[in-house]
Structure 1
Amino acid sequence: MKVKVVTHPTGEQIPIILDYDGLPIPAPNEYLLSRRDKSTNTLVRNARELSILYKWLYREQIDLRKKLTDPVSFNSAQINSVLVEQLRQDRDQSKAVSPITFNQRLTTVRQFINWYMSVLISQLPYSSNKFKSLSERKSVFNEWLSSSFISAPPSIKHLKKGLSKEESNFLMNILDPTFIHSFGNNEAVKYRNFISVGLMIYCGLRPGELLSLRVEDITIGSISSVSIVRRKPDLGDIRKPRPQVKRNGRLLPIENSELVKCLNEYIVDLREILEDKSELESDYLILSDEGEPLSQASITQFFHLLRSKYSQDLPENLSAKSLRHTFSSRMEIAMREAGLSEQRRREALAHLRGDSSLSSQDVYIAQAVEESAKEALRKYQCSLVKENN
């Protein structure tokens, strides 16, 4: 089984699942097409999760459509013991995946089977006995799969949060292109790394938004800013998956003078050095060492290298997501200290992050409350110590 990302004439990128003969498998690919409103990354993950199901069907020589509609279909043991066990295993089946990964796989398989059975049921007359039996069977399968979800073990919460002030300061210092021992191969790469991380940690950009930036989206002047713009798919962009702006566009001021200075230096002089290494011209702001638009895989690898080299000073959860969490948490604290109400803070965070949902900001508000509670507890305990002394 193989997952391949296909670029359509419109520029849209959608993955397809190929069987062992290299031919598309109709049902799961139709399901992926029905979810084309999702991001390419999400669809690729769904495709890989469904490929596990179809590898199992292939080994057992099971025709899914026939098995779902036959008088004798899957039994509880086949679903809860055999199929579910396949979803628990990693790719080489040497160990079990994490509860979160397993639950994601199970969710996708359950949703697909529900969708497929709904399609099969819709082809039958409402008054037929088979319509009723398949509807009941669909409910049973859904119940069996739902009962297999496992609770994730208690997580270490601090690993999911952003960087501390010390960690973020260290990160920006070792990326500072003016620092003699800064991380990077050459001057152009050092400036690119610094502004990439700077835009994520100071402005809250997602990786897709960062990699979608064009040079024209940066304004340098008395009021410097970065513009997040939703554009039509770029047919000339061959990156797979292609970075995209999935949320609301917005205009964000850049008040950090060091970041503005480095952006100006990079755009005016250094970006061209990288671009000259490629035969293709590009308007994208962030270029690879070879002068082509940087890929999301390169961003992931970049943070992996940083974690490996500076493991004593940077957290193991350092990633683009942790930088965005750092931005969101600090913005929430700053707005709370400025006296904004909770509702106003929620609205402001949604705007700065490009979110449409206000409820998605609750995690940062809750974190700020938790940090305030810890600080109050620290002061309380210190006061007791002084009293005892």
Structure 2
Amino acid sequence: MDVEVILHDSGELLPILLDDDGMPIPLPNEFILSKRHASPNTLIRNLREIKLLYEWFYLHKIDLYDRIIQKKPFTEAEITGSLVEFLRKDHEKRHKTIKIAVKPDTFNQRLITIKQFLNWYIEMYIGTLPFTSNNYQYYITYKSRLISLLDRCFINSPPTNKSLSKGLSSSEQSNFIKLIKPKTGSQNPIEYRNYIIGMLLLSFGLRPGELLSLRVEDIQIGAISSLRVHRRLPDPNDIRKPRPQIKRNGRTLSINDKDLAKDLDAYITKWREMLDQRNQTSIEWDYLILNQDGTPLSLASITQYFQILKEKCTELLPLNFSPKTLRHTFSSSMERLLREAGVEEDNRKKALAYLRGDSALSSQDVYTFKETELEANKYLGQYQREIFGI
């Protein structure tokens, strides 16, 4: 049993679950087709999670049609005592070290996907029944019972180390900019490209996938300079794995700093052009960020670059330094500036959600809470100084 990813002529990537004979398994693939609005990476992960469910079916000789449609329901022991334990195990065979169990978040994600799949299957069958059918109420009740059993199996994640800051401090931010700034007189286009990568991630809070999806036309330099994060149809020529993508909302962001606008313009007109001339393929790439061979840079390369920076400068950068660190730095700084400007909390959340390209306002809670915590402690210190007369 395996998950294979198919690249269609349109450029769309769709995963498909195959059985041991290499034939498609209809039901899981129909479910994935019903979720085509999601990103390819999400669909691949979902199908791998459903693959575990089918491996459990195969191990225990369970026919899903019998258990759902033919009224031979799953027992509580099968769900909580067998399936759940199977999902908690690490089934990855590529690593030398075999873990006994996966992380709580991984297990919970598996459970969510399987719950969605079973719920979808039952609802799809209910939709084929006439409203007057005697079986209608049975399937409604059975669905509620099955979903309730699965809901009771979720486990809490262990507490995280909140003392470990997700973003950079002011000094760490200054150190980072100094580290990536090209050497005076350098003629190496890679240095200027890396500088642009770091500054775009730090200045706009972009996700790596959003950065690598930018085209040259998305950067407008002029009297009013701007950067546009734009969701496009899949590029059939882009064979990067995983393919960078824009998962959430697009947005247009102002480039107000003249030095950044000037550096971007120099990169596009000079340094990127030098990289583009190294392209030996028959395709003319219009992506903003290119690798040393003049082709689009991969996500793995960005991860590797940040790892090299962290290893070289362990005293200047935090232990958890990564592209996400710069996104957290951007978000925390914007929350602080909005708070200092007197913007109300609800409006701060809306502004942050737009700037970050998030769909949910709840995603901004971690930043609004952090700034509230800092302000509360500032006044707590003032109160204590009054008590002790310091």
TM normalised by structure 1 equals 0.87
2:183 to 178, 182, 191: 178
1:233 aligns with 2:252: no
Query: 1:101-159 deviations in whole A, cap 9, x for unaligned?
Result: 11111111111111112223333444444443333322222111111101112222244
CA distance 1:124–1:245, change in 2 (3 Å):
same
Q: Distance in 1 between matches of 2:23 and 2:165?
A: 40
Are 2:61 and 1:61 aligned?
A: yes
Matches within 5 A, 1:108-119: 108-119=113-124
- Change over 3 Å in CA distance of 1:320–1:158 after alignment to 2: farther
User: Residues 24, 158 of structure 1: CA spacing in aligned structure 2 closer, same or farther, 3 A cutoff?
Assistant: farther
Once residues 371 and 231 of structure 1 are traced to their aligned partners in structure 2, the CA distance between those partners, rounded to angstroms, is 40
Mapped pair 1:30 → 2:30: yes
Residue 104 of structure 1 corresponds to: 109
- Correspondence for 2:323: 320
What per-residue deviation string (whole Å, max 9, x for no partner) do you get for residues 251-298 of structure 1?
A: 322244553343233222222333314413200001123322123333
* Residues 322-341 of structure 1: pairs in structure 2 closer than 5 A: 322-341=325-344
AA paired with 2:271? L
Contact 1:203 1:254 in 2 (8 A): no
Amino acid at match of 1:54: Y
Q: Specify the code of the residue in structure 1 equivalent to 2:317.
A: L
**Are positions 1:134 and 2:154 aligned together?**
no
Instruction: Give the Å deviation of 1:380.
Output: 4.4
SS of the residue corresponding to residue 156 of structure 1 reads coil
**How far apart are the structure 1 equivalents of 2:284 and 2:12?**
22
Give the secondary structure class of the aligned counterpart of 1:157. coil
- 2:154 is matched with 149
Matched, 1:42 2:47: no
Q: Give the Cα–Cα distance (whole angstroms) in 2 for the partners of residues 214 and 356 of structure 1.
A: 23
Could you say which residue in structure 1 is the equivalent of 2:305?
302
Aligned to 1:363: 366
Task: Name the aligned partner's letter for residue 140 of structure 2.
Answer: S
Contact 2:104 2:157 in 1 (8 A): yes
User: Is residue 2:216 matched to residue 1:215?
Assistant: yes
Q: Contact 1:5–1:241 at 8 Å: present in 2 too?
A: no
When residues 158 and 16 of structure 1 are mapped into structure 2, their CA distance, relative to the original with a 3 A threshold, is farther
Alignment partners' CA distance in 1, 2:365 and 2:81: 38
The 3-state SS of whatever aligns with 1:368 is helix
Identity %: 50
C-alpha distance in 2, partners of 1:179/1:85?
59
Q: 1:344 to 1:72 in 2, by over 3 A?
A: closer
Aligned with 2:351 (options 311, 327, 348): 348
1:95 to 77, 100, 118: 100
Shift of 1:214: 1.0
Tell me, in whole angstroms, the C-alpha distance in 2 between the residues paired with 1:70 and 1:316.
55
- Offset, 1:374: 2.7
| RMSD between aligned residues | 2.8
The worse-fitting range, judged by mean Cα deviation, of 199-208 and 343-352 is 343-352
Structure 1 gap ranges (5+): none
Structure 1 contact 167–314 (Cα < 8 Å) conserved: yes
Residues 50 and 114 of structure 2 are in contact (CA less than 8 Å); yes or no, is this contact kept in structure 1? yes
Aligned residues: 383
CA distance in 2, matches of 1:347, 1:100: 27
Tell me how far 1:356 sits from its aligned partner: 4.8
Find the aligned partners of 1:176 and 1:380 in 2 and give their Cα distance: 43
The 3 A distance-change label for structure 1 pair 348 and 132 is closer
TM-score scaled by structure 2? Answer: 0.87
Contact 1:13 1:241 survives alignment (8 Å)? no
- Quickly say closer, same or farther: Cα 1:330–1:152, change in 2 above 3 A: same
CA distance in 1, matches of 2:387, 2:257: 41
Distance 2:222 2:183 in 1: 22
Q: Write the distance in 1 (CA, Å) between the matches of 2:383 and 2:190.
A: 48
Q: Which moved more, 1:32-41 or 1:344-353?
A: 344-353
Cα distance, 1:309 vs. partner?
4.0
| Per-residue Cα deviation, 1:321-347 (whole angstroms, up to 9, x for no partner) | 332221111111112212333344333
Note the C-alpha offset of 1:193. 1.9
Q: Within 2, Cα distance between the matches of 1:188 and 1:369?
A: 43
For 1:158 and 1:234, locate their aligned partners in 2 and report how far apart those are by CA, in whole Å. Answer: 42
Question: 2: CA distance between counterparts of 1:20 and 1:305?
Answer: 41
SS in 1 for 2:15: strand
> What secondary structure, in the 3-state scheme, does the structure 1 residue paired with 2:268 have?
helix
